[in-house]
Amino acid sequence: MNPAESNSDVELSDPVVGSTPDSATLHTQLERRAMDWSLVLVSQGIPVTLDRDSTGGWTLTVAASDLTRAQTAIRQFRRENRGFGWQQELPGSGLLFHRAVLLWVTAVALMFSFQGALSSGLFESRKVRTGEWWRAITAMWLHADPGHLASNAVIGTIVLGLAMARHGAGWALFLAGAAGAAANGIGLMFRPGEYVGLGASGLVMAGLGLLIPQAAPWWRAGRRQTRLAMTAIAAGAFLFVLLGTDPAGDVLVHAAGFGLGLIAALVFLLIPAPVRRRTDTAAGILFVAVQAIAWFLALRH
């Protein structure tokens, strides 16, 4: 990472590198930061054009009359997002990754280590139909074998790490967890027979769904942003086909998790960004509380 673009760079200096009587240009080396800034400007109704520059960085061009508003919006955004040491850039990608996802991976691995004593958390369709709803939640922490665990842990680390950096750690976990549990419920609706389910794949696919709507504000914001939005949507769909349609897995739950995650993110993005940031910790606490209550009920039975 360019030292000038590290977290300490959020000292609110205005990133203007050039101007003409009609336009002004802002510069950053990081693709992720350029995307974030363009989203901020679009959300404020400021037309912006995003392009690569000769140094391999990114430029955002706005009308000269919009420069003051653009600088104010970006300054406020940087002030509100300073000091997040849990986040880091994935080398060469321009994407931000939230390292708190490793806490989730560790918890899943620990649950697998004690899985013999946690069989009351399995998604047993007969028992769920009799009212043991918590199994839709607890089953997401259990896995059939080391290979099953490794697959969900590896994919989940990438997908959830990106979603947590994009939406906030607390909100990403809460939304993915809620969508994953609901996906287990949808599986129950479409399967009249008795079966046993387990695994975090519904939650992981929901995490993938959470990533796609982040491109929505780029749509029609400019030719390059429209291409970026279309690319992001196509990449998300391709990843779902690649990872979520394996006949050896639960395709119905995967599809439901992916779709619910996508819908959840679309609704979530309607909430003003400052509100989302202020409530992120509360969302994380709620996620942990729901998991704890579900396991308390499971272990009592």
- Three-state SS sequence of 44-104: CCCCCEEEECCCCCEEEEEEHHHHHHHHHHHHHHHHHCCCCCCEEECCCCCCEEECCHHHH
Half-sphere exposure of 277 (CA within 13 A, CB side): 13
Judged by average pLDDT, the poorest of 45-54, 86-95, 127-136 is: 86-95
Domains in the chain (CATH in brackets) are 3-83 (3.30.70.1530), 96-300 (1.20.1540.10)
The C-alpha atoms of residue 191 and residue 112 are separated, in whole angstroms, by 26
Q: Identify which of 1, 21, 220, 25 has the alpha carbon closest to the alpha carbon of residue 95.
A: 1
Q: Note the pLDDT of residue 224.
A: 55
- As a whole number, mean pLDDT of residues 264-286 equals 90
**Predicted structure pTM score:** 0.73
The predicted-structure confidence for 167-212, as pLDDT tens digits, reads as follows 889 999 999 999 999 999 999 999 888 999 999 999 999 999 998 8
DSSP-assigned letters across all residues of 281-299: HHHHHHHHHHHHHHHHHHH
Whether 9 shows a pLDDT value over 60: the answer reads: no
- As a whole number, mean pLDDT of residues 80-96 equals 63
- As a whole number, mean pLDDT of residues 1-16 equals 41
